[in-house]
Amino acid sequence: MSGRVSVLVVNFNGGSTLETALEKWREVCPEWHELIVADNGSTDGSLDRAREQFPDAEILELGENLGFGTANNRAAERAEGDYLLLLNSDAWPLPGCVERLKSTLDQRPEVGLVCPRLVYADDRPQFHWAPVTSVLGEAIQIVRNRFESCPWVHRPWPSRGWFTAACVMVRKRAFQQIGGFDEGFFLYFEDVDLCLRLRQAGWRLVDEPAATAKHLKGGSQATAAGTSLHYRLGQARYYCKHRPRWEQQFIRRKILAKLKDRDDRRRLQEAFESRAFETHTQASPP
């Protein structure tokens, strides 16, 4: 169906948060959509409740925790829509959001990804984009984070590096062209990498301020083990793929200085030494 939106929700022990998000989605969902819930081996009963309460959703049981990007890739393979709405299990679009995102992609064929404005549950503004991820960009983001509640810091910058995948609509053709998410990222930095590769392939990435989604932020990861290590591994992979050697060495020293667990340090050392980190998908312009 032309112009159809496939909504992809990744769940891992989402608990009541998943139920809330799906209930909110049902209140605003347009007719031209399909809903796919990809479950990363949840053990908290959240998938069973979702199956009972949302019989129209397609449930994709992956059997184990494959990570955020890989689960989205598996769901995208099943999706029939022209557009993919990537949605965290602790996020939901507000009325009119999906229609506005779809309209942007309908009217602007050069755009491969569009992101709505994000707010917290209490309507406080939330960052939906960040500067280019680099040593300098991450330093800027640390300072910027302190002012997240201030409206002025959400004004558009001349160069926005990447948009969060908590709620974002991607043209399926663009997603397929670059091979979807890099499955070497388990959790964190997979959306940073996706945005960079979309740009490299010639697609434009934009936001739509008139579209708004709520994101509880962290609710979908509340029971994830080893979150900090996943973050550091994702950071290491990103820098080894996309940043110059001196930045790789800088981040390597910074990460290892913070890690106290011997096994975690070993895994990070192996990550930086892996030649697989130094390659990435090349794609031709659309």
pLDDT of 284 reads: 33
Whether the pLDDT of residue 59 is over 70: the answer is yes
Which range has the worst mean pLDDT, 28-37, 174-183, 196-205? Answer: 28-37
Highest-confidence range of 43-52, 111-120, 225-234, by mean pLDDT?
Answer: 111-120
> What residues does each domain of the chain span?
5-221, 227-278
Q: At what angle do helices 245-258 and 262-273 cross, to 10 degrees?
A: 170
pLDDT of 123 reads: 92
For the stretch 97-125, pLDDT in tens is: 999 999 999 999 999 999 999 999 999 99
User: Contact, 36 vs 8, CB < 8 A?
Assistant: yes
Which range has the worst mean pLDDT, 33-37, 53-57, 76-80, 282-286? Answer: 282-286
Whether the pLDDT of residue 220 is over 60: the answer is no
* 29, amino acid identity: C
What does the alpha-carbon distance between residue 284 and residue 286 come to, in Å, rounded to a whole number?
A: 7
Mean pLDDT confidence for 203-228: 74
pLDDT of 2 reads: 54
**Does the domain formed by 5-221 have CATH 3.40.50.1000?**
no
Which residues, in sequence order, are bridge partners of residue 91?
215
Better pLDDT: 277 or 252: 252
Q: What is the DSSP string of 137-206?
A: HHHHHHHHHTTTT-GGGGSPPS---EE-TTEEEEEHHHHHHTTSS-TT-SSSSHHHHHHHHHHHTT-EEE
Cα four-point dihedral sign 107, 93, 23, 91: positive
Its pTM surpasses 0.85:
yes
What ranges in the chain are assigned the alpha helix state H?
15-28, 46-53, 68-78, 97-107, 135-145, 172-177, 190-200, 227-242, 245-258, 262-273
Mean pLDDT confidence for 272-276: 66
Which residues, in sequence order, are bridge partners of residue 38?
10, 60
Highest-confidence range of 7-16, 218-227, 275-284, by mean pLDDT?
Answer: 7-16
pLDDT of 283 reads: 35
What does the alpha-carbon distance between residue 11 and residue 113 come to, in Å, rounded to a whole number?
A: 22
